[in-house]
Structures are given as structure tokens and as C-alpha cells.
Amino acid sequence: MTGVCGCCGALRPRYKRLVDNIFPEDPEDGLVKANMEKLTFYALSAPEKLDRIGAYLSERLSRDVARHRYGYVCIAMEALDQLLMACHCQSINLFVESFLKMVRKLLESDKPNLQILGTNSFVKFANIEEDTPSYHRSYDFFVSRFSEMCHSNYEDPDIRTKIRMAGIKGLQGVVRKTVNDELQANIWDPQHMDKIVPSLLFNLQSGERTESRSPSPLQASEKEKESPAELTERCFRELLGRAAYGNIKNAVSPVLMHLDNHSLWEGKTFAVRCFKIIMYSIQSQHSHLVIQQLLGHLDANSKNSAKVRAGIVEVLLEAAAIAASGSVGPTVLEVFNTLLRQLRLSVDYELTGSYDGSTNIGTKIIKAHEERQLQEAVIRTIGSFANTLPTYQRSEVMLFIMGKIPVPGVNLTLLPNELVPQGTRMIQIMLLKSLVQVTTGFQNTNMLTALPDTFLDPLLSFSLINHSEVRLLVLQILLSLIDRHDNRPKFSKIRIISDISVLKLKVDKCSRQDNLFMKKHGQHLCRHIYLGCKEPNSDQQHYETLYALLGLLSVELANEEVVVDLIRLALALQDLALSTDEGLTIYNRCAVHALSAAYLNLICQLTTVPAFCQHIHEVIEVRQKEGPYLLPEGVFLEHPKLPPSLEKVESGVLFLQSKIAEVLGGSGYNTDRLATPYVPQYTDEDRLSKRKSIGETISLQVEVESRNSPEKEERTPAEEITFETLKSAIVDSAGMEEQERERRRQVVEKFQKAPFEEIAAHCGARATMLQNKLNQIFEITIRPPPSPSGTISSGYGQSQSRSVPIYEMKFPDLCVY
């Protein structure tokens, strides 16, 4: 029998004998290295036998696994690994199939050690660059199995950690093996990404919870190598870094789904961390795709809770700031449009207390509080993203937001607060707060381009609204735009400064563009400052902001002519505080006195005219002794000591316009202009205020008074228009403003309350009258030319011109073009 067995053994194929020889009698002795070298040499010499070697090794490994001889299993896998590393022939594909079959067998086992062994072998295989492509290899099982291992709940925490880390490494190996191989199944397909990405995020989140327990430094150093969190983050970054343009969506969508399913938006921290990893890992030119997905997800969650939307907005804040440093594509205005839309929806939800428009009183307070937090988050996001934009794009964003601010159809300044819808007012405030964020830190060199008419006119119109918060926001926007040398913090408090050199103001000579800007808009700004001081609901913050605006105008944009106008404005504010006709309280009047004194103290030191400074300081000293309530230090206190009335104000505590004009005239300033009291020009407010309601538009009349009747031959000469005529017209119109307002109010009321038939009849009569007047004008103005029409002799021997329409005249051929 022995001879027969020996004879049969000699007849076995050589590759089987070489494979059998690598296994020792005792598996603890490990792989027989000498025989392994012989097997490797044989495989390299006869590569056509490699597939058979792999199939036989696979057969032995399956048998050993079934018999629980795990020592031989490890030897077989070690041999496979060495053969893989050594052989790169064209027959490697068939060998790989046997290898993957053995790895799969190990991964299907319920033994953690075998699972880890199979994973390690697969990772080694994934790092091998194959010379020949494979058309039929599939990794679907490995994606599913490694993802399952990432979620392992094994009882022993150490073994559980090892299994999860093996799963992460396995996913990393699958990605490396397939991501660059166009012949493989597309790993970026949703069926694979929906398994890979959540598995990585699960371990990333688990690592975050583990770190929050704050282990001791010694424990941390020991477990740092074993922690799956760092491995997960590295694998996640590698996956995202390999994503091409068309794969970004498939990689990010599972992240959004995972955060939704596990309610991770509300905590914000983990969601922000995930998207920071994403934004820093993907290629910068693809950043705008992530922004687009976040914006779409925010819109999709428009009716979700405020906490969820606030979490998405916070993530968008971080992501947009990172994306703006690279390529943001066409999404600049899209970001702001979506955020402003969410802001408007949030205001609606806060007012109704419900997401479907029905009022729910029981939950309104809680939801209103959450919605206000969301609104603040949206405003912060708008500012954060705007700060990363270049100047020209930020200007476009400013105009874009300004165009979104709702404006009622009638004059804003004539409406009391109770008549403005609450939602409209809240939207105005929120959008102005957004503008404050956008303009913060705005740097410009040309005020004409930074503040175009399309932006400045509506902005200043909002400064006339009788709502204190709106006016304050407008002033803050102006301060941000005018301040180009960071002088604003130096005017944060309104006070009397004996020596302004301690402020270290940065003053540059005004450029030609600045002079043109002030020549165009200087009177407009002065007028709104004056009218802002007339508002009875102004408080200390308003006066401090007005003082900062006056100071910045003097430092940033003031030439000699502007200085004169600002001094006249300050003296006009003093006269305003002395007047009792404006309905201002004692506090408001004292505050305006203090504002005027603080600004004159500042401007006199900027002009460096000694006599001017002396007069201002003398008056301030008198006020300190006799009327401290007329200075900032005596008014802007928590409990100021104010007099019962300001009827008896001594002339010694007032700044004299004649004295100031005299001392400045000696230094070359325009004496005539200084001696002229400042009177704001009361126009029709501004462009926004000129927007009329439908009733007002219908009621406009065109009165055409013909100076000639058809019977008269001679025409009355036209009235000559001179400068004096225009000046008198302006003065007269200023005096008739109150009558005009009353007329408009009556017209609006009539068209709002009158029946439709009466309005139609009224408009029809007006149209008929207009048509008759136009017919008369056309009859009068049609005159014949001297030659082609000829003349007619009248009965008295005089030639009389005949009225011939142009289209009936006959011209010589040479005159026709």
C-alpha cells in the first residue's frame, strides 16, 4: 500500500506538490519559506499555471475553514499575498478571481479574526496596480460587506473597534481599486455611495462621541493609533478628493440624507464638520456644486422646523465662506436669493405661528423664538459670504438686496407705524440688517460707483420712515460705506474732545471723484441728517450714529465747500433745538444741542482756525458751568438731569453764526455762504417717496392753457425764465408742501372709498377735457410754410396765411428726400 501511495503522490501535478509543501505539519510553525520561494519561482517561470495554483489554494482554504483549522487558513492567505505581490503577468486576472473568492469566504465567516484577515489581504490587493484590465470583475459584495463591518455591534469593544476599522480600510481599498478604472463598475453610482458614505459618517460620528468623553492624555496616546475616527476622516477625504465634476452630487446627497435621517442638523456641530471636510477635500472648481445642493436642500426643507433650517443655514455659512475663496461659479446671486427667500418665509411663519398659514396660538411663542434665531443665522450667513466677495460683486449684491426691500404704494414718510403691515415692516428690518452685514468692511476708492443713485436714493428714503430701528440701520449702512480708513470706531461715542490728535484720525486729501460725489449728493445727505434729528423717537444710539456720520463726512469727503455746509448744518441743528414748533421733547432738544456742540468742537479742530476754535471752546466752557445738559456728557447718561424747559436759553451758551462767519471769512472761507442760515430743501422726499398709489396716478391732471385762440393772429411772447424765477418757484413750492400733502390725502381717500361708477365718470370727463385741449393746441400750432402753399387775398387787400396741414403740402421734387 505504501508503494501504491507513493506512486500516486509522484503522479500529482507539480504545482499541487509545490503548494502542499508550503504547509508545515504544525501550523504554528508558519509558512515554509524555502518551499514558498520554490512555488513563487515556479509561478514566475510558468505563468500559465498561476490560475491553477490559485484554484488549488482556494480549495485547500475552503476545506480548512470548514474544518476550523485556522492556522492553515492564515498560511494559505499569506501565500496568496506573496504570489500577488510577485506576479504581474497577463494571467493574473484568473488568479485574482480565485483570490477574491477566498477573501469573500473569509469575510462571510462569523469569526472576527477571519474577517480582519480577509480585509487585510484585500487591502494589499487593492494597492497593486494591475497591468491588464478586467472586464468582468465585480465588487458589489465587498462594498456591502465592508459597509456592514463599519456598523459592527460586537460585544467586546476592542474587537468591535478592530472590525469597524477593518471595514473602513476595506471601503478605502474598494475605492482605490475602482475609482480610476473605467472598466470597473462605477463606484460613484448611488447604489454604492448610499452604502459607503453613511458608513463613514457613522464612524466619524461615533469617534466624535468617544472624543467628547475626554480621556486622560495617557489613554489618548495609547488609543490614538486604534481610533477609527482619524482613519474614517482620511478615507472620506480620499474619496471626495477623487470625485470628478459629475460625481459630486452622488457623493454629497448621501451626506444630506444621513444628516436628515439622524436629526443631525439641529446639533449643527457634526454637520458643519462634515461639510468642512467636503469643502476642503473636493477640487476648488467644484465647490459651487456643493453650494447648489445645500441651497436646494434648504428649499426642500422650507416647511421643516426652524432648528433644522437654522442648521442648514449654519452649514451653508461655513461652506459658502470656503467656496468663495475658490470658484463659486454662477451661484453668487443664487445664494443671496435663496437666503432672502428663506428670510421672508421665516417672517411669515413667525407672524402666523404655522407653516401652512393657519394660526396656532398654542405653539406660536416657541416657534417665534426659533424663527428669530433662524433669521439671525440667515443674516450672519449673508454677511459672511458677502465678506469674501470682490468689491464689484458686493456692489451687485447690495443693489440686489435693496431691490428686494418691500415698499408700500404710498409715501412712506406719511404713514404712521400702525398703518404699515407688520410683515412688511419686519421684512424691511431684516433686509436692512442683511445690508448692514454686506456693507461691513466694504472697501471702495470711488464713492460715485460705491453709492450709485439707484442705491443711495432708496436708502436715504428709508431714513425718513418714522420707525427708529429702520432709521438706525440706514445710518449704519451709510457709515460702513463712507468709512474707508477705519475711522468709524473713533467716533463711536459722542463727547467733547479737547484735543482730537489723541484719536489718530486718518485723513487723506479728497479726490476728484469724492468732490463730485459731495457736489451731487452733499445737500441730500445734509437734509436727511437734519430731518433725522427732528424725529421725536430718536434715542442716544441714533444721536451717536448721526455724530459718527457727521465726523466721517468731515474726515473722508470734506473739501472747503463741504465744511462750510456742515458748519451751517450744525448751526441749523442748534436753531432746531431752540424751536418749540417741532414737538420735540426736552431730552431730544438737549440731545440735538449736545450733538451740535460735539460736532462743532470736532470740525473747529479739523479746520485749524484759531479764532474759530477759541469761540467754540468759550461757548463749551460756559455750557459746562451754566448748562451742562447742553453737552453730551450731561445728556447721554442713564439718568440725565434735564431742566423743566428750554425757554430761557442764554445767548452765552449758543454758538453765534455771525461770529463763526466772521472768523472763518478771515481764513478764506465763503463768508456769504456761512452767513446764510441752512434751510433744508423740502422736495418730494426722494425717488421711493415719489412712488404713488393707483388712486394718485389716476388723479394726475394735465392743465393746458392756450395763450392763443384760433381767431387771434399775434402770439403772446413766452415768459423769460431766469435764475430769480426758478429760485422763487422753489421757495413757493416749499411753502405749499403741506397743502400738497392734504390734497394728495383727499385724492387717495376719494379713489379708495368712492364707487366705481363715479371714478369711471370722473376719469372719462378728464380724458375728454384733455383731448379737447390737445385738439386746440394742434389747430393753433399748424402753420403753413411761406412758399409752397401760397397766400390768399382778403377782402381788404391784405394777404392772409392759410392753415394747411403738413401732409397736404406740395413740395418740389428737389426738396423731397
Per-residue pLDDT tens for 556-613? 988 899 999 999 999 999 999 998 888 899 999 999 999 999 999 999 999 989 999 9
Single-letter code of the amino acid located at 238: E
Q: Which of 490-499, 568-577, 741-750 has the lowest mean pLDDT?
A: 741-750
Q: pTM of the prediction?
A: 0.71
- Find which of 13-27, 415-429, 502-516, 687-701 is predicted with most confidence, using mean pLDDT: 502-516
Please tell me which residue, 248 or 751, carries the higher pLDDT value: 248
What percent of the chain has pLDDT above 70? 78
**Segment 100-116 mean pLDDT:** 90
- What per-residue confidence (pLDDT) applies to 806? 57
pLDDT digits (tens, 9 = 90+) for 259-313: 999 999 988 799 999 999 999 999 888 888 898 899 999 999 998 889 999 999 9
What pLDDT shows up at residue 313?
Answer: 94
pLDDT band at 689 (very low <50, low <70, confident <90, very high): very low
Residue indicated by cell numbers 480610476: 180
- pLDDT, tens digit (0-9, with 9 covering 90-100), for 50-94: 778 878 888 888 888 888 888 888 888 888 888 877 776 555 666
Measured CA to CA, the distance from residue 164 to residue 228 in angstroms comes to 7
Q: How confident is the model at residue 694 (pLDDT cuts 50, 70, 90)?
A: very low
434 pLDDT band, cuts 50/70/90, is very high
Lowest mean pLDDT among 81-85, 338-342, 569-573, 811-815: 811-815
SS3 86: helix
> Cα–Cα distance between 197 and 147 in angstroms, integer?
9
Confidence of residue 24 (pLDDT cuts 50, 70, 90): confident
pLDDT of residue 670: 86
**2-16, 102-116, 225-239: least confidently modelled range:** 2-16
CA 551 to chain centre: 29
**What is the pLDDT, as a whole number, of residue 366?**
53
> If you average pLDDT over each of 48-62, 378-392, 415-429, 742-756, which comes out highest?
378-392
Spatial neighbors of 393 by CB under 8 A, at least 6 apart, are 332
Average pLDDT over residues 778-797: 51
767-783 burial, b for 16+ CB within 10 Å, e for fewer?
eeeeeeeeeeeeebeee
pLDDT: which is higher, 579 or 780:
579
Question: What pLDDT score does 716 carry?
Answer: 41
Indicate the helix (H) or strand (E) that contains 799: strand 799-800
Whether the Cβ atoms of residue 466 and residue 414 lie closer than 8 Å to each other: no
| Chain centre distance of CA 110 | 53
Query: Which pLDDT score is estimated for 88?
Result: 62
Q: What are the extents of the domains in the chain?
A: 10-132, 243-381, 390-407+420-481, 483-685
C-alpha 718/C-alpha 402 separation (Å) is 44
The answer on pLDDT for 170 being more than 50 is: yes
Q: SS in 3 state form for 179-194?
A: CCCCCCCCCCCHHHHH
pLDDT at 695: 33
Instruction: Kindly report which listed range (570-579, 590-599, 701-710, 721-730) carries the lowest average pLDDT score.
Output: 701-710
Q: Tell me the percentage of the chain whose pLDDT exceeds 90.
A: 37
Q: Which amino acid is at 725?
A: T
**What confidence tier does 788 reach under pLDDT thresholds 50, 70, 90?**
very low
Rounded CA separation 522/507 (Å): 19
Segment 178-191, tens digit of pLDDT? 876 655 557 889 99
- The C-alpha atoms of residue 364 and residue 370 are separated, in whole angstroms, by 10
pLDDT digit string, tens, across residues 147-163? 999 999 999 999 999 99
pLDDT, mean of residues 208-227: 50
Check: CB of residue 490 under 8 Å from CB of residue 552. no
Closest residue by Cα to residue 602 from 559, 570, 565, 627:
570
- What are the distances in angstroms from CA 349 to CA 368, 426, 650? 8, 12, 56
Closest by alpha carbon to 168, among 154, 181, 182, 151?
Answer: 151
pLDDT tier, 710 (very low <50, low <70, confident <90, very high otherwise): very low
DSSP 8-state assignment for residue 48: G
User: For 368, phi and psi rounded to 5 degrees?
Assistant: -60, -40
Average pLDDT for 638-649: 85
Predicted local confidence at residue 328, as pLDDT: 52
d(CA 503, CA 491): 9
Inter-CA distances, 280 with 204, 210, 233, 283, Å: 16, 24, 12, 8
What's the confidence (pLDDT) of residue 722?
Answer: 65
Query: How far is residue 603's CA from residue 550's CA, in Å, rounded to a whole number?
Result: 9
